[in-house]
Amino acid sequence: MNKGVFISLEGGEGSGKSSQINLLRNWLDLIWPRPVIATREPGGTIGAEEIRQLLVTGNRDRWDTVVEALLMTASRRDNVVRLIKPALDRGEAIISDRFFDSTTVYQGIVGGVDADLIDTLNSRFLDDIKPDITLLLDIDPAIGLARVQNREGDENRFESKGMAFHQQVRQGYLSLAQNNTQRFIIINADQDENQVHKDIIAALTPRIKAISGT
């Protein structure tokens, strides 16, 4: 096997991506013949983690959405060239907490950044890397935000943008998923953590078998 597999998880705040990534990594470790690596966005490498601090901390109006999109892409570029692409070239599995769909939704669909600019950022600076499979963990923003309201730390810049913003994010993701059905799998995230994991595995199993040729 020479081809790796790239799975991204997307969704609004409090959708449970971090927990599901841990469970998914444990599952993939059992069936994927090469190493399984988890990463996140923004972040994933030393340089990208430094950019993360610029993006997810501070006042909600710290940056306009064009600056956000540029910073996100800079972080993503570093993650791609230093971590994601080399791992895929080795036939490894990558699970990422967010990828370019987040920029398409947060800064593009909701933030109003020109779609052509978003497409250029997503297509020209990532060495043609894109997820094989994207899991959209869909949840009512009121429920998701309630889950994270007591989260420790200061990475709450996007959480503070208000309910209307997060409702738009959810609708943006659903629209994106409906227009990219070959890549997206929509998962109901308003369930028990173990049931969400079971739903993910049930949906992923045939796709992983198709990619691995088993």
Residue 6 has pLDDT above 60, yes or no: yes
| pLDDT recorded at residue 2 | 61
Angle 174-62-134 from CA coordinates, rounded to 5°: 25
Mark out the alpha helices in the chain (DSSP H runs): 17-31, 46-56, 65-79, 85-89, 100-102, 115-124, 141-148, 163-178, 193-212
Residue-level pLDDT at 52:
95
Pairing of the two strands 184-188 and 93-97: unpaired
Q: Which residues pair with 96 in a beta bridge?
A: 8, 39
| Chosen CATH of 5-212 out of 3.30.413.10, 3.40.50.1820, 3.40.50.300, 3.40.190.10 | 3.40.50.300
Domain ranges of the chain: 5-212
Confidence band, pLDDT 50/70/90 cuts, at residue 28:
very high
Mean pLDDT of 206-212: 89
Tokens of 132: 């094989």
Q: How far apart are CA 58 and CA 61, in angstroms?
A: 8
1 pLDDT exceeds 60? no
* Rounded average pLDDT over 54-65: 92
Q: Is the whole model's pTM more than 0.85, yes or no?
A: yes
pLDDT at 212 over 90: no
Res. 183: pLDDT tops 70: yes
Strand order in the sheet with 93-97: 36-40, 93-97, 5-10, 133-138, 184-188
Q: What is the pLDDT of residue 214?
A: 65
Q: Which amino acid is at 96?
A: S
The pLDDT score that the predictor gives to residue 91 is 96
Provide the pLDDT for residue 146.
92
In this prediction, residues 170-198 reach a mean pLDDT of: 97
Angle at 89 between CA 87 and CA 92, to 5 degrees: 45
